[in-house]
Every structure is written in C-alpha cells, then in structure tokens.
Amino acid sequence: MINRIDEKFQELKKGGRKALIFYLTVGYPDMVTFMKLVTALENFGADLIELGVPFSDPVADGLTIQRTSEVALKQKINLKKSFLLAKELSKKSNIPLVFMSYYNPIYHYGLQKFAHDCKKTGISGVIIPDLPPEEATPLKNILKQDNVNLIFLIAPTSPQERMRMISKESQGFIYYVSLTGVTGAREKLSGTIKSSLHKIYRFTKKPICVGFGISKPSQAREIGKYSDGIIIGSALLNIVERYKNKRGLIKEVEKFTSEIKVALRS
Amino acid sequence: MYPNKKGRFGIFGGRFAPETLMAALSELETAYRKVQKDKTFQKELNGYLSDYAGRPTALYYAKRLTEHFKGARIYLKREDLLHTGAHKINNTLGQVLLAKRMNKKRIIAETGAGQHGVATATAAALLGFKCEVYMGEVDMLRQRLNVERMRLLGTKVIPVKSGTRTLKDAVNETFRDWVTNVKNTYYVLGSVVGPHPYPLMVRNFQSVIGRETKQQILRKEGKFPDALVACVGGGSNSIGLFHPFFHHQNVKFIGVEAAGRGLKTGKHAATLVAGKKGVLHGSFSELLQDENGQVHPTHSVAAGLDYPGVGPEHSYYKSIGRAKYVAVTDREALKAFHLLSEIEGIIPALESAHALAYLAKFAPKLSSNEIIVLCLSGRGDKDLGEVIKDYD
C-alpha cells in the first residue's frame, strides 16, 4: 500500500498545487481544543498535519514551541497518548499525519513498538530534528517494515554533499529549514532560500517543503513559488496561545489559514 | 583507540545534532584533528597551561587525611590550585585557542557552578574574544560570586529562565544560540558531553591531569596508584584523570556522583548509578529520565554536578566494567567539605567534596601499602555562600 504522504504529494502534483502543512503541539492548549484544531485545519484546507510530541529539552525549538511543549508536558502528554489521539484522528479523516519529536522519547518507547504503533494509528511519517541520517539507520530500517516515512531536514548550513546525501535518504518529502536558527515566527526570511532550493532540486525529484520562520501570507506566496509546500508551526501556535480560552479561537485560525492558503495558491 | 570515526565509545556517543550544526561539527572535528598534530599549537597551549594557568599542578600527599581514615595512602591532585580555581581552564584554553585558529569571532558557553563559565571568560579575555555565557537563574543565585567574576572578565552572563533553570537548560540555550549563530560563533562546551567531537576533544584537553599524575606518582611512590577517585557530573575531571590509566588494568577507577537528598528521594543527579540509556545534548549515553523518556529534573548541592546526563566515555567504562560508579549525598559531601578544610587546610569545591566523601567508605578498607589518587577538581571559595546557608 502506498504511504499516505507519498499519495498526497502525487495528488498535489497532479493538481499543480503546493502543500500546506501545519504543525501543532499535541495536547496544546488542552486535548479537546487540540483535537478541534486538527479537524478545523483539515477543513480549512491543510494537506498534512505535523503532530509535535513534546520533549523536555527541545534544542531546535524557539520560545513558542518551548512554551507549548511545557504546557503539553504538564498535561502529561506522552507518546502513548499521542498515539491514542492519532488513532482518533485517523478514524475520522484521511489527512496524512506526521509525528515530530526528539529522539529520546522515541528511543525510550522502543523503536519496534514505535514503528508498529505508527502504522496502527495512521502516522505516515516521522521528523526528528536531533536525528541526522548518520544516526538514523536503526530507526529507518524498522520504520521501513511498517511503511512509515522518515523525513530528514536540510539546513542553510548543509554543504552540497550533505544536501545530496539527505535528499537521497529522506522519504516522503525533504524538509528545508528556511533559516539558520531555531523554530519561531520571523518578520523577514532569508534571501538565500531560492538558490538553496534550486541546488537541492538538482539532486532530487522528491518534494521539498520549507519550514521554520514562515508567519505571513506574503512569505507563503514567495516560498510557494519555488518549493513544493510550506510548513507553519509557531505562527499558528501564537494565535492559539492568544485566543486559547476565547470563543473566537477557531475563527481566528480559519482567518489565518485561509489567508495563507489564498497566498500559497495564487 | 576509541572513540571510533563516528565518535562512538562502544555503543555510546555519536552525533545526535540538528542538521544546522552537522557541518559545523565536522568542521570542528577537522580543525581539532589538525591542531592535534600541530606542534606550534601544542607549544602555544602548553605555554599557557604552564605560565598562565599554573601547570603542572601539585600531587600532594595528604598525610593527615590518610591518618584520619587509617587506610590507603591518599594523594590529592591539586587542580584547585589552577588559575580560576578549577580544572576547567585546561579545556577552555585549548578550545579558545582552537577557536582562534578557526577564525571564529565570538565565544559562547554554558555553565552550571560557574567554574566553566569563569574559565571560558578568562580564556576569552586572554585571547581577545567577545564572550557570552548562559547560566540557569537558579545557579546564578547560588553561585553569585562566579557571575560577578565573569562580568569582571568582560563576559556577558545570560540568565536562562527555561525548564529547570540549571545546567541542563543552560546547555539547551547555548545550543540554540549556536544553531542561530553557527557561522561566526564557537561553542566552548565544558564537559565530556555533547555531540562528537566534544567528548573526545574535552577528554584530550583534560587528560593532562592523568598524564601528570602518572609521572608524579611514579616519582613519589615508584608505582602506579591502586585507585583513582574523582567526582562525576558531566565527567570531565574524572575522565581527565582516568583516561591515561585506561590500559593499566590494576588501577581501579571510581567515579563519585551526586546522590543529592538520597537516591530514593528522586532528588539526585546520579546518572550512572540510576540512569537509563538515552540521547541528550547530542550523544547517546546514560541519562536520568522518566518512564516517557522525558529528562528528569536533578538535584545536587553542587551546581557543577547538577546535570541529568553524563559523558559517553563514562557510560562505556561502566558498560565494560572498567570503572565503578557510586554516589554520595549532599550531607556526606558537606561533611567532607568541612573535614578537608579542618584537617588539611584546603577548602574543596562542593563538587570535589563528593569524591572526598567517598573516601570515608573506601579508604579504610585499603591497606597502608595501597595508594589512592583523588582529583581535587576545584577550590571551594565559590561555595561558601551555599555552605553557610546550609548551616543557618
């Protein structure tokens, strides 16, 4: 059976569309609202959802995701619960779900069990910012048996030979990190994204999606022009944080996502 | 010789870092391998170590301490006598000189007790670097003197307010800074932890402790010691002492961790005694973590031991049975702090006091023909506030 992520990108390619990917911290601000948010994002046209499984020491994350992770951890969100929530989501929807977490919780859970549970609960891919391809062989081999993609990141600091190697290793899509830094919404994006993407496309036919820092429709429009999709996390979580206990939350999320979507598809 | 090319000590170590840092880590490894063979670099480093930092440090026969325990002959390797008051300067001089070779413009570091921060600030001042040090807010309070020392040395101390607000989170913040400023910034990691090549590089810079000890003990006793004892937080002073003796199987290694308020209370930092395998701060090693793989908050009266991880080489030594790891409580360490002050006239760092505390359990079991060398990794001036507070 074809992996849902691969299927999604084929479908997008046929339609000549770019992928709109959102990141949410699992269980943020609380479990019920989180589930509502995922459903809402799908309804508003998201193509893929990254579910951030919180870790106590998120070294690749900026303040927003540090805060949301801390809240999620206080609510005792762990991998086991994340799998349960994923299973619920998969029952109602066909949107590809990807886990984003750090390596330690996954290692501790047990690689074999992790892979099986991904398959059982409809997790189609995994992104682990502190697991470069050099250290990923054991997990990759195990995930392969359960048809779960292991998605790797390329950074602006990656030299050509790493771009080539990571393009080869990454499954589903390639996650291009738009900036030299941690996650978090930015006013301005780097001027070198276009040329870097150009270089990577010389090594691969796989889709490349760009994340880290994207917060505005104008940025989505710009990046959409020369990539296969965009990933937004912190900017969305900032809205969730601002409206978390207010009635207007879903409306605000809709407003933001539709603006991004319009920009991306224009 | 370990680690292997991938930075592995047996199964431990490796390079679990964000992609943004992978090229920088390779660059660092290449630059380090180059200066290892570079005689000019080694000469310059050795010059600073002797004329500036005060090496070689004394190997002192602690006669009254020996008489007190009525067992093995106890020698203290006096790293506390070094400039800035602890072994940390061995590593920071090496790394900051390397940063200069690599044409980096800016130095960053994490610190727990502040000793590594001070040692980095010192090397940065000496070699003309702009320096910023991340320190947990909790540690800034309990090690105020070191905060002021760093400021005097021209370093900016950045308070870390996330997570546990101690060393672990200071390391997180320093990594985040490095991820952001990797092009012009050199990260001076303070212990034998982190992604490859840090555990290798820091170990080699600290091995001067063990190399000197070898020569000195042969001169004084005509034989190698029976046991080496040192405290283990991240594990740099202990690896520095142990490593040169690795192939001398008759020399026992004993690493002393912080049992804090007691291992059963969960309020401790005894990673090798009570941890499980996992990945933190770039390497695969033993780690204090909960049932979900979340890193455990730690506790120790000694800020420099208050860390949930440990260097991968120690995990390797433990796995092959080369070293034994034990833990002593805050209370035992404080007792040893006073003992050494009173009977030897040496005020030890609270970190080193953990190693000293283990002597009470260990030294009396040995005969007077046997020799223990203990690494007195730092002096205790910085801890007076904490110790006095404890008795109020």
Q: Which of B196, B219, B250 marks a domain boundary? A: B196
- ipTM value > 0.95: yes
Please enumerate in sequence order all residues whose Cβ is within 8 A of that of B199, keeping only pairs 6 or more positions apart, or say none: B3, B7, B9, B13, B192, B193, B283, B311, B312, B313
- Is B210 found in the same domain as B174? no
pLDDT, one tens digit per residue, over A17-47 is: 999 999 999 999 999 999 999 999 999 999 9
pLDDT averaged over every residue in chain A: 96
Give the pLDDT of residue B386.
80
- Is B376 found in the same domain as B289? yes
Give the pLDDT of residue B142.
83
Strand partners, B232: none
How far away is chain A from the Cα of B197, in angstroms, using its nearest Cα?
14
Give the pLDDT of residue B391.
56
Q: Inter-chain contact B16–A60, Cβ cutoff 8 Å?
A: no
pLDDT, one tens digit per residue, over B301-312 is: 999 999 999 999
Q: Which residues from B are below 8 Å from A78, CB to CB?
A: 292, 294
> What's the average model confidence in pLDDT over B236-246?
98
Domain residues for the domain of A213 are: 4-265
B1 domain-assigned: no
B16 domain-assigned: yes
B351 domain-assigned: yes
B390 — pLDDT class (breaks 50, 70, 90):
low
- Is B179 found in the same domain as B74? no
Give the pLDDT of residue B1.
61
CA nearest A161 in B: which residue? B23
Specify the number of domains making up chain B. 2
Q: Which of B196, B221, B253 marks a domain boundary? A: B196
CA nearest B278 in A: which residue? A104
Domain containing residue A150: CATH number: 3.20.20.70
Cis status of the peptide bond prior to B3, with omega within 30 of 0: yes
Any CB–CB contact under 8 A between B196 and chain A? Answer: no
HEC secondary structure over A185-233: CCCCCCCCHHHHHHHHHCCCCCCEEEECCCCCHHHHHHHHHCCCEEEEC
- Is B240 found in the same domain as B270? yes
Q: In angstroms, rounded to a whole number, what is the distance separating the alpha carbons of residues B292 and B157?
A: 33
> What's the average model confidence in pLDDT over B333-352?
98
B217 domain-assigned: yes
How far away is chain B from the Cα of A254, in angstroms, using its nearest Cα?
31
pLDDT at A233 over 70: yes
Say whether A50 is catalytic.
yes
B201 domain-assigned: no
- Is B299 found in the same domain as B366? yes
Which residue type occupies A54?
A: P
Percentage of chain B modeled with pLDDT above 90:
94
Domain containing residue B283: CATH number: 3.40.50.1100
- Is B183 found in the same domain as B274? no
- Is B69 found in the same domain as B39? no
B2 domain-assigned: no
- Is B322 found in the same domain as B218? yes
B258 domain-assigned: yes
Domain residues for the domain of B20 are: 7-47+87-196
How far away is chain B from the Cα of A153, in angstroms, using its nearest Cα?
6
| pTM, 2 dp | 0.96
Give the pLDDT of residue A148.
98
Which residue type occupies A5?
A: I
pLDDT at B388 over 90: no
**Please, what sign has the CA dihedral across residues B77, B83, B84, B88?**
negative
Q: Inter-chain contact B20–A104, Cβ cutoff 8 Å?
A: no
> What's the average model confidence in pLDDT over A56-61?
96
Question: Which among B18, B162, B289 is the nearest to A108, CB-wise?
Answer: B289
pLDDT, one tens digit per residue, over B286-303 is: 999 999 999 999 999 999
- Is B261 found in the same domain as B233? yes
Q: Which two tokens stand for residue A248?
A: 């207007």
Q: Inter-chain contact A182–B15, Cβ cutoff 8 Å?
A: no
**How many DSSP H helices and E strands does chain A contain?**
12, 9
- Is B115 found in the same domain as B251? no
Q: Which of B176, B196, B216 marks a domain boundary? A: B196
- Nearest C-alpha neighbor of A57 from the set B110, B286, B297, B142: B297
- Is B180 found in the same domain as B168? yes
Any CB–CB contact under 8 A between B278 and chain A? Answer: yes
Percentage of chain B modeled with pLDDT above 70:
99
Residue listed under structure tokens 């006073």: B338
Question: Which among B163, B180, B282 is the nearest to A56, CB-wise?
Answer: B163
Specify the number of domains making up chain A. 1
Q: In angstroms, rounded to a whole number, what is the distance separating the alpha carbons of residues A24 and A99?
A: 10
Q: In angstroms, rounded to a whole number, what is the distance separating the alpha carbons of residues B5 and B116?
A: 28
B349 domain-assigned: yes
- Is B171 found in the same domain as B129? yes
**How many DSSP H helices and E strands does chain B contain?**
16, 14
CA nearest A69 in B: which residue? B163
